Structure 1
């Protein structure tokens, strides 16, 4: 395992400066990670416990904040998950009490949808991270990643404390630790580099340290993150507070972008106030997080929005239509003859057909419209801001035409059709469930029709009146 240097002590040993260390953190036993979860919903707590136990974690449950604080007093935990909304000693109160203790495990605040402000407040009060619960329980897939990040940060804090304890052994050894650290370590005085270790030179893509010394640190921060970085530096320079790890983006010496995690501590360089900044490359972790988000919201075969993302966009469209008094249409599509193609030519050809159908759908709709795969050979289309009901029929006929053209599937010429049901807001419903149900009903009417392969929803009352 490479040695990671996180302490201003080591830089001080290297360049002849004296630094007073801050408070240390407890050492985590990485062989058996024990987590305390404070949650008043017993059923939800058991689901999370079983999920995490399958991954090798040891999970203790507390039914409320008061019980959880007592358990944290009796036993050491590697991290604590705290539900924000608990009837007895809420999550924020638990956070305040835990962080007031001299030694405490890192805290992850668990909030519900719409409580992002609570999450920000929790971070300000000392929470290490937070995660938002969603109704589909998708957060259970992201939770191991969040816990892993928190434990990694805590491990680095512990590692720094161990290195501080080893200070008396040999200044020469500390010099090597700094030079061999895989993390970039720099000292900035008046915003400019006065020291940078070899890893920092490599991470910033510079030919050598001489090319960086004297340059402004802010020039290497991506424009999107410069306000955040400036706030970090003000906190370090004006208040003397350590800056926790924050994800940012740097622009390297060769102008390439790099995702980094940045932390900092106050420092003294030749009698002048300075800052020590530590940063590491987290590009792989960022890509992994993006892949998880992609899997959670998009269909793996067609890359279209899945049911979860469809309902999210559908709800947003409905809210906007109600606010501005506009109309929109929902089209429910079911492919005709898809089963025959899938059964006769195989699932690989069936999958290829679904991909080609996706290409034709997305290529013949506006960018403001949403196409989603609901499963199997069923798709939905949200037509935003239509002027009149007939607009939906125009699009439906266009879809029927483009999907009626033959498909070349690995040398096989195949033809299919499509049946389309249409519901229009606000005529056919004013909530997502009603509009979706009515579009589905209209789609089945289209399948049974001998004429048009698309049908508008017609209410039972209207049918009775027509007869």
Structure 2
């Protein structure tokens, strides 16, 4: 099978290269890479790709949405939008163009691959349906012409011609029903609503000898059981009895287990469901199948003694096949939404859902004039356990943490994983700081209980920073920043405790902590872009750095490089060194003598950091760079 050819429209060179490499890795061919919307049409016309990945925000006068409209209208090439921007206005404008997909950057490779495959499959099916409709229309016209000619020649062939025309019109009506079902699948309605509407459309077909009642079942995931999702014309007792039907039970269950259409013209031995008031009737039960999976069953009623006919079989199979594609697409979309909103490891909300929940909670608190509390947590000993017992143990610890954390909360509250060992909690409807303190104490107590990992009882704990709406801040970003600052205060205050945001910012200590973490997390190596990202992150956290501050911070980072690669370059040692050096600089006002230097070395040794001549020189260079940064802050405050 030929590889699908993809045209990439992306104005960020690095991003375009990354996406291109990922597409090649997935097995696709690249028809071209362009950066301007103005060029998209001509390049697509020349290269004739199977699909276009279109960034919405592009340099130039034509953005991705405008380019996509022309491409879809004139070249009929499916377009998937990729964007790092997800405002309601931008999303609504993009969706009005009926794209083949829409994905937010950054994204996972599996998400993009699934979306591309679905778009290509959908485009092929749409082209086939259009081709079928064109062919059918040609047949209609040809048949009508034949009928007119036949009417002139042989009157006896009139009835035969009418029957042929009736068959064509019925086939055309089938296509119209399927088209309506497909169009309904694109509307913002639930799957249940869509199945109910499909059932109504099926029962409205005049030439089908169906009773005005029926039902559609869906397979319960991970179980061999059907659940009635949509019904029309059924009595209350039957709805209750047939709410759940095991595979192999009654006609619907047999259709699911045999994966074949089951027909009965009367209440026979296949009917396991019977009751005294049941009226004589028959059934068509058609399985909804996608590849190797039974997704459900369409159950239609016919009168007692009905004769099975091929036209009805074809119609019901066509509807079942159409529903199979729609149901499978819905399930993929649901999985993708879950992956986008929930943490894959712990199953609790991720950063994306956290920000959405926080915005909703703030809006609700503002409208009702109520308070809310935001907790920022990280685990006190996670790094040590992860390093000694391995990442599998670390993952189990994170999952157990999420479970314990949610057990301490109400249904109206939210626990989310921000990444690594950092978690957040949103407490709604709190009346005072005492409410937040009580929950924080409960969480600390719950997480202090040892966790058994690989046969070891591992002690664990957490430090919690708390900000309150509206006393600490009224905006989401400010609440998060201040809860994070409060958490740092809790950690520096001895760990295993909680601290409310007090409005005090130990900017020098926090800045040094950011510098140490930056060097450690980047393995002592970074480029200009990462350096700019660090400065932006520091600015977002409330620091206003002067040019002198930035220069001094750069010297601190450079002095940390050799320490990161030395014998004491592990996270625990660097964290202790960070705290000790920061306190040392502040207590001595950036000036020290040899005796004070030896006292610092003694304190480090007591904490497990023994300095040889080489590492002592590295630490002294680190202190010298800290002195410059400290003096810069001191002058700014003065």
**TM-score, length basis structure 2:** 0.47
Instruction: After TM superposition, give the deviation of residue 396 of structure 1 in Å.
Output: 1.0
- Write the deviation string for residues 364-417 of structure 1: whole angstroms up to 9, x where unpaired: 211111112233433221112211122110111111222233444465444433
Residue number among 444, 455, 461 corresponding to 1:417 in the alignment: 461
Aligned residues: 361
- Verify: 1:454 aligned to 2:498, yes or no: yes
1:148 and 2:146 matched: no
Structure with max Cα Rg: 2
Contact 2:65/2:94 (<8 A) preserved:
no
Distance 1:75 1:296 in 2: 33
Instruction: Pick one of 56, 61, 77 that aligns with 1:88.
Output: 61
Shift of the 147–371 alpha-carbon distance from structure 1 to 2, 3 Å rule, reads same
> Do residues 441 (structure 1) and 485 (structure 2) align?
yes
Q: Aligned partners of 2:47, 2:200: CA distance in 1, in Å?
A: 37
Residue 68 (structure 1) aligned to one of 40, 49, 53: 40
**Residues 32/330 of structure 1: CA separation in 2 closer, same or farther (3 Å cut):** same
Cα gap change, 1:130 to 1:118, in 2 (>3 Å): farther
In the superposition, relative to structure 1, how do residues 84 and 403 fare at CA in structure 2: closer, same or farther (>3 Å)?
closer
Match of 1:387 among 420, 426, 431: 431
**Is contact 2:31-2:47 (8 Å) kept?**
no
- The structure 1 residue matched to 2:411, chosen from 343, 346, 367, is 367
Distance 1:69 1:456, change over 3 A: same
SS at match of 1:416: coil
Q: Deviations over 1:282-302 (max 9, x none)?
A: 466655554444444333332
CA contact (8 A) 2:371 2:468 kept: yes
Q: Return 5+ residue gaps in structure 1 as ranges.
A: 1-29, 168-185, 195-220, 238-247, 262-268, 463-467
> 1:87-166 counterparts in 2 under 5 A?
87-91=60-64, 93-101=66-74, 104-110=76-82, 112-113=85-86, 114=88, 115-123=90-98, 127=99, 129-134=100-105, 137-138=106-107, 141-156=110-125
Change in Cα spacing, 1:453 to 1:73, as seen in structure 2 (3 Å) is closer
Does residue 33 of structure 1 match 2:8?
Answer: no
User: What is the distance in 1 between the residues matched to 2:459 and 2:472?
Assistant: 32
Shift in CA distance, 65/316, structure 1 to aligned 2, threshold 3 Å: same
Aligned partner of residue 455 in structure 1, secondary structure = strand
Q: Which residue is equivalent to 1:254?
A: 252
- The answer to whether the aligner puts 1:224 opposite 2:196 as a matched pair is no
Structure 1 pair 435–192 and aligned structure 2 pair: CA distance change class (3 A): same
Question: Which structure shows the bigger proportion of residues in strand conformation?
Answer: 1
CA, structure 1 residues 160+371, in 2 after alignment: closer, same or farther (shift >3 Å)? Answer: closer
Separation in structure 2 between the aligned mates of residue 187 and residue 361 of structure 1, nearest angstrom:
63
Q: CA deviation at 1:363?
A: 1.1
Q: Which one has the bigger helix percentage?
A: 2
Q: Report what 1:405 is aligned to.
A: 449
- Please name the residue that 1:217 is paired with: none
Matches within 5 A, 1:290-309: 290-309=334-353
* 2:69 and 2:97 in contact (8 A); partners too: no
2:472 to 390, 410, 428: 428
**Of 260, 263, 281, the match for 2:324:** 281
In the alignment, structure 1 residue 317 sits paired with structure 2 residue 361 = yes
Q: What's the Cα RMSD here?
A: 4.7
Q: Distance in 1 between matches of 2:129 and 2:76?
A: 17
Taking the aligned partners of 1:314 and 1:99, their CA distance within structure 2 comes to 38
- The answer for the alignment partner of 1:49 in structure 2 is 20
Residue aligning to 2:397: 353
Distance in 1, Cα, partners of 2:496 & 2:72: 67
Q: Kindly state the Cα deviation for residue 421 of structure 1 after the two structures are TM-superposed.
A: 1.6
1:153-194 superposed Cα distances (whole Å, 9 cap, x missing partner): 333456678999999xxxxxxxxxxxxxxxxxx999699999
C-alpha change, 1:325 and 1:281, in structure 2 (3 Å) is same
CA contact (8 A) 2:462 2:495 kept: no
1:52·1:59 contact (CA, 8 Å) conserved in 2? no
Alignment correspondent of 2:563:
none
Write the distance in 1 (CA, Å) between the matches of 2:15 and 2:418. 27
Instruction: Give the Cα separation in 2 of the matches to 1:449 and 1:398.
Output: 19
Sort the Cα spacing of 1:38 and 1:394 in 2 relative to 1 into closer, same or farther, 3 A.
same
Which residues in structure 2 correspond to 1:150-189 (within 5 Å)?
150-156=119-125
CA 413–188 in structure 1, closer or farther in 2 if over 3 Å, else same: farther
Cα distance in 2 for partners of 1:89, 1:233 equals 44
Helix, strand or coil: the match of 2:96? Answer: helix
Change in 2 beyond 3 A, CA 1:42/1:233: farther
Query: Normalising by the residue count of structure 1, what TM-score does the alignment of the two structures yield?
Result: 0.62
Structure 2 residue runs of 5 or longer lacking an equivalent are 137-166, 176-189, 207-216, 219-228, 231-244, 246-250, 257-286, 296-309, 507-638
